[in-house]
Chains A and B, each alone.
Chain A
Amino acid sequence: MKLIVSEGNPHGIKVLAAAGLWAGGADIQRLQQEEKVVPFLAQPKLPALQLDNGNFLFIPNAICSYFFLSSGKEQSDLSNQWMEWEAAELQPASIAALYAHVVQGKKREEALQSIQKSLHHLDQSLAKTKSTYLLNGSLSVADVVVWASVYPLYTDLSSLPEDLTHFKNWFTNISQLEECQKAAESIVRGQGASAFKLYLQKSPAPLLPSEKTACNEEDDTAPQALSEEDIAAAAEAWSKGLADAPRPRKPQHPILPVDGDKNIMITSALPYVNNVPHLGNIIGSVLSADVFARYCRLRNWNTLYLCGTDEYGTATETKAMEEGLTPQQICDKYNAIHTAIYQWFNISFDYFGRTTTQQQTTIAQDIFNRLLQRDFLLTDTVEQLRCEKCERFLADRFVEGICPFCKYDEARGDQCDKCGKLINAVELKSPQCKVCKETPVIKSSKHLFLDLPKLEERLQKWLDKTLSAGDWTSNARYITRSWIRDGLKPRCITRDLKWGTPVPLDGFTDKVFYVWFDAPIGYISIVANYTNQWEKWWKNPQQVQLYNFMAKDNVPFHSVIFPACLLGAEDNYTVVNHLIATEYLNYEDGKFSKSRGVGVFGDMAQETGIPADIWRFYLLYVRPEGQDSAFSWSDLMLKNNSELLNNLGNFVNRAGMFVHKFFNGCVPEMELLSEDKRLVAQVAAELHQYNQLLEKVRIRDALRCILNISRHGNQYIQVNEPWKCIKGTKEEQKRAGTVTGVAVNMAALLSVMLQPYMPTVAGTIQEQLLVPHEANVLTDLFCCVLQSGHQIGAVSPLFQKLENDQIESLRKRFGGGQLNGDNPEIQVKAQSKVPAPSVDPITDSLEKVKRLQLDVEKQGNHVRDLKSKKAEKSVIDGEVQKLLTLKKELALAEGKSPDPPAQKSKKKK
């Protein structure tokens, strides 16, 4: 039996106390920091108890119970109840209080607010039992567990709340037990609450259960809880129209920060110039940043969105050799290719630059000189791999081998794609020159290093502040924290190359800056090429909010290395405030691979005949936000046909058509009844949610709000049947007018909300409905933009159906295997998709799924057909029943539960 605890971990106190009280001879191991001890848990979790049978306990209360039970004592129901209360209520609250105080620097009294309720509960319970301990009679494991949970907040007994006398006496009593005192002291070491700082900094910020974010996808169509005030407020905002609304800002180049405005600078990771970006690259940075930039502009925030190609480095040199061009020619060629792709995808850069410019050299050398003057650079001799055959040092990506950490056999010279750890190229096992496959030799060369350990303190201070104030995605926080946790080491910033920014220092003039020192400076130099007043953006942290967009593999360079350089330069640089990192997008369950011809690349997307906006929509719909996701052709077809065609497109088109058909293209009079007001409030609530999500850069989630609005709209039309009312009495005709008017105004709102996602479609809707330009500002208000009497233009369908044949042939074309038909890996994949003729139960079930999908689709069309022909209700109901049965069968065949869990059930009118 071995108990493992770590320094500064507050959960160590209770297990040590319990071990001392009830298991005298326990073997205790103390670790310096959190380490992975429990073999089956992916993250380090301490304390842990290794039992004699090899099993592990990793939950502190269970460890305490084990010690308690092994001393021959028994646990009562009441004891269980206290321990469950401690785990579910007290512990989260006290860790949150500790975090707020120690990490976020909140005042103690303020931080302690979150545990007041729990302490009162304790005090009252103790008062009732009139006992020295929680359970009548004697000290039990419940006392230790509850005491230790609060202890970190009251390491100083004199700070105990005077008014809670019972709690105070009980707590003091337990604190004075010798074993408890010893346990606490061995963790706190006389440092008070700050002993826990390091541990807390490395753990994710605790969320109090009560402040947990509501889950947005809980139920897309659930009616929100709207109060009467909400509804009244929404109705009033609606009736005001555009009168009080702000006018859209007209940006004039060069865009510069404005005093008193929200000034937002957005960057997307600079794409490397030697390759054509694939869909994963596009959604990972430029497209995500584009949505956010467009959104910021719609909010009338002063926004600058910039990007450019990253052009220096070995890869360019090699590519140039391959293609028989100079590096500069290669850069010119690929910069043009990138520019064209982003233009096609409608990416709204304010400026798209490149890194091979004079400004880059000037600024990079200036930052370098400032770091040098301030003694933040070191010189060292490094051993490097050199390929004798190619006659050059093999930098970073030009050597491949086995990862020394995880044994992945395609690790690159600077980083392993599998475990994500950074690698020193000479540590790679069985290294190979990527060009000629020869084994390189180790040679030494003198290099300059950024002294990160020396910068750590100011970096840590900056991170503490930025992480608590800014919107960082959780992967960015996690990666940054684990980087700091692993310890900062000096990092080489020079390379033995020619194609790069020259190092302006005697003895190093034959070297250039390593791309990772150089490339982020590209963000600055690109702005410098855009405007000579670039310092207004880049040396203005007081007025500018900087957002960096990237895929997760780029995080450490943006969150640690580049900020360290800027802080070290001491030149009032603007440093990133918000870091938005995506996970990876896979391609049909595999990876994109240029060499194997698998996946869709930027330049091919336009050859598919699918419009750019559909690509944008689907990529944003599956944006790897918080988790990896996959591009799938059949899903693309499904989302296009269901969400765009049947939901969004259908709604906008119907709204416009009604105005044309029934009201000669003129928006009719509207007189809102209470149900209309309720709908208006619902739409306003979705708009509010959309704004909240996009402010936090939750792009994928915000897209759901748009689709929800059109779902509400479709339902509204379906229920009110304006096509019937128009043929009825005067009163009914008026009703048709109101419904049509509200619907077409919802369509107008959608045309604004849709702009960040599908700018062309949004523009088309605005052209069709002749939406006034002034409507293009987003607030939290949904107002009547198309007043009665407003003339709309010609209306036509927005989306086209994607057909199965078309999608199948695209899948074949891009699925891989075509360019490299002899690649065995791909063939295996392809086979698993094509059902074999045998009666294998699996392929059989896949076949069945396919067949059922077709049946469901057919039956669905049949039902719609009947409905549109206004068939008898009993006939329709019968057919709907058939449809539901088929769907159930399909769900079963797909291995899903046919009865959705209770909390998910949808209320359909």
Chain B
Amino acid sequence: MGGVGSSGVLVGSAWCLCALPTKMAVGELGALERCLGLKEGKYSSKAQGGGQVPVLQINKGPSLAGLATIASYLAKEAKREELLGASIEEKAIVQQWLEYRITRIDRLSSKEDIRSILKDLNSYMEDKVYLAGNTITLADILIYYGLHPLMADLSIQEKETYINVSRWFSHIQHYSGIRQHLPSLIFIKTRIYSNLH
């Protein structure tokens, strides 16, 4: 008499909003290294701002701490400086979105927060193909990594609500080498919900 067991049948609607674990940040930097064609670096982590931040040990100098700092360093190491922005304006815009990633996206604390950043990004992306300038930059790559877990949790209807973010996201994930180990998310091109306000 096992009764109606519930094992394995229920699917919870859990979503997690905790600060990004370092393991993920390191995994992400690893993905970036592969994408840039660099060798695997030596990473550790340390506490900062109430969470853990990745630390990269560099052969020729002191270690560097912080996701954005390390990512910028990697771009320079790979001689892909264009990823940091072509002009001064673009450089500042790239830096802006990297900080946005660390201070906003990695610190979401409620579903309301998620909606508010998606809303802002959606209106920002309304007339843009890339976050900064007219080519892909580090900003696109790191915001893409940062948003991936959130986007994976959106329903079709929500993806449609944030249509510009979805369009951009779908575009970036098809860039060769960027997606790496992350699952490809599905976006439907034809709108289903016409009555969204």
Q: Which residues of A contact B (CB under 8 A)?
A: 39-43, 51-53, 55, 57-59, 61-63, 65-66, 69-70, 77, 80-81, 83-85, 87-89, 91-93, 207-215, 217-221, 474, 589-590, 626-627, 642-643, 646-647, 650, 653-654, 657, 661, 711, 714-715, 717-718, 721, 723, 828-829, 832, 841-842, 845-846, 860, 863-864, 867-868, 870, 880, 883, 887, 892, 894-904, 906, 908-909
In the complex, besides A65-B91, A642-B10, A650-B6, 9 extra interface pairs with C-beta distance below 8 angstroms are A41-B120, A84-B102, A91-B103, A842-B192, A846-B192, A868-B5, A894-B155, A903-B21, A908-B7
A207-B109 in contact (CB<8A): yes
Q: Is residue B18 contacting chain A, with contact meaning CB distance below 8 A? A: yes
**When the two chains form the complex, which single residue of A65, A77, A210, A717 contacts B92, counting CB atoms closer than 8 Å?**
A65
Q: Which residue of B lies closest to A45 (CB)?
A: B120
Per the bound structure, the CA–CA distance linking A841 and B189 in Å amounts to 10
Question: Who on chain A is nearest to B94 by CB?
Answer: A62
Q: A66-B92, A845-B188, A868-B2 are in contact. Are A84 and B99 (CB under 8 A)?
A: yes
In angstroms, Cα B132 to Cα A66, docked, is 14
Once bound together, how far apart are the Cα atoms of A646 and B73, in whole Å? 53
Say which residue of A218, A643, A661 sits within 8 Å of B18 (CB atoms). Answer: A218
Q: Are B149 and A647 neighbours in the complex by a CB distance under 8 Å?
A: no
B16:A899 contact, CB within 8 angstroms = no
- List the B side residues contacting A899 at CB < 8 Å: 183
Contacts of A863 in B (CB 8 A): 8-9
Q: Are A828 and B50 in contact (CB under 8 A)?
A: no
Q: Are the CB atoms of A84 and B109 closer together than 8 Å? A: no
Residues of B within 8 A of A883 (CB): 8
A residues less than 8 Å from B10 (CB atoms): 642-643, 646-647, 711
Contacts of B172 in A (CB 8 A): none
Which B residues form the contact surface with A (CB < 8 A)?
A: 1-19, 21, 24, 48-51, 53, 64-69, 72-73, 76, 88-89, 91-93, 95-96, 99-100, 102-103, 107, 109-112, 115-116, 119-120, 123-124, 126, 148-149, 152-153, 155-157, 159, 183, 185-188, 190, 192-195
A642 CA / B65 CA spacing, docked (Å): 46
Q: Is the CB of B88 within 8 A of A70?
A: yes
- Shortest Cβ-Cβ A-B pairs, 7 listed: A209-B50, A62-B96, A66-B92, A897-B152, A210-B50, A89-B49, A84-B66
Residue numbers in B under 8 Å from A723 (CB-CB):
1-2
Kindly list chain A residues whose C-beta atoms are within 8 Å of the C-beta of B73: 77, 80
Interface residue from B1, B19, B65, B185 paired with A212 (Cβ < 8 Å): B19
| Dominant SS among interface residues on chain A | helix
| Least distance between B137 CB and chain A CB atoms (Å) | 13
Contact A904 B14 (CB under 8 A): yes
A763 CB to nearest B CB, Å:
24
Question: CA separation between A242 and B78, bound complex, in Å?
Answer: 69
- Given B68, B96, B109, B157, which contacts A80 in the complex, CB threshold below 8 Å? B68
Which residue of A39, A62, A900 contacts B95 across the interface (Cβ within 8 Å)? A62
The answer to whether A221 and B183 touch (CB under 8 A), given A626-B112, A895-B155, A895-B156, is no
Residues of A near B69 (CB, < 8 A) are 77, 80-81, 84
A342 to chain B, nearest CB (A): 30
- Give which listed residue, A58, A661, A868, contacts B96 with CB less than 8 A: A58
Closest Cβ neighbor of B107 among chain A residues = A209
Task: Compute how far the CA of A873 lies from the CA of B19 in the bound complex, rounded to whole angstroms.
Answer: 41
Q: Is B64 a contact partner of A77 (Cβ separation < 8 A)?
A: yes
Minimum Cβ distance to chain A for residue B164 (Å)? 10
Interface centre among A77, A642, A870, A896 (most CB of B within 10 A): A77
Closest to A650 in B: B4
A85 pairs with B65, CB closer than 8 A:
yes
Report the bound CA distance from A842 to B2 in whole Å. 41
| Assembled-state Cα–Cα distance A718/B5 (Å) | 7
Q: How far is the CA of A841 from the CA of B7 in the complex (A)?
A: 35
Known contacts: A69-B91, A209-B51, A723-B1. The answer to whether A220 contacts B14 by CB under 8 A is: yes
Given known contacts A209-B49, A647-B6, A845-B188, is B16 in contact with A903 (CB within 8 Å)?
A: yes
Answer whether A897 and B99 are a contact pair too, CB < 8 Å, given A627-B115, A903-B21.
no
Given the contacts A80-B72, A212-B19, A903-B16, A88 and B103 also touching, CB distance less than 8 Å: yes
Task: Give the most central of B14, B88, B109: most A CB within 10 Å.
Answer: B14
- Chain B residues lying within 8 Å of A69, measured Cβ to Cβ, are 88, 91-92
Given known A88-B66, A864-B5, A895-B156, contact A213–B109 (CB-CB < 8 A): yes
B48: chain A residues within 8 A (beta carbon): 85, 88-89
Q: A57-B96, A646-B10 are in contact. Are A896 and B88 (CB under 8 A)?
A: no
What's the Cα separation between A657 and B53 when bound, in Å?
Answer: 52
Give complex CA distance A55, B89 in Å: 9
Q: Are B119 and A42 in contact (CB under 8 A)?
A: yes
Please name the residue on chain A nearest to B121 by beta carbon: A40
Q: How far is the CA of A209 from the CA of B107 in the complex (A)?
A: 8
Q: When the two chains form their complex, are residues B2 and A59 in contact, meaning their CB atoms are under 8 A apart?
A: no
Beta-carbon nearest neighbor of B92 in chain A = A66
Take A42-B116, A864-B9 as given contacts and tell me if A87 and B99 are in contact as well, using a CB distance cutoff of 8 Å.
yes
Distance A841 CA – B102 CA, assembled complex (angstroms): 39
A and B contact pairs by CB, cutoff 8 A, 13 listed? A55-B93, A59-B96, A66-B89, A69-B91, A80-B69, A84-B68, A212-B19, A842-B192, A867-B5, A868-B5, A892-B186, A901-B152, A902-B24
Given contact pairs A69-B88, A88-B103, A842-B192, A42 touches B9 in the complex (Cβ within 8 A)? no
Give bound CA distance, A581 to B148, whole Å.
32
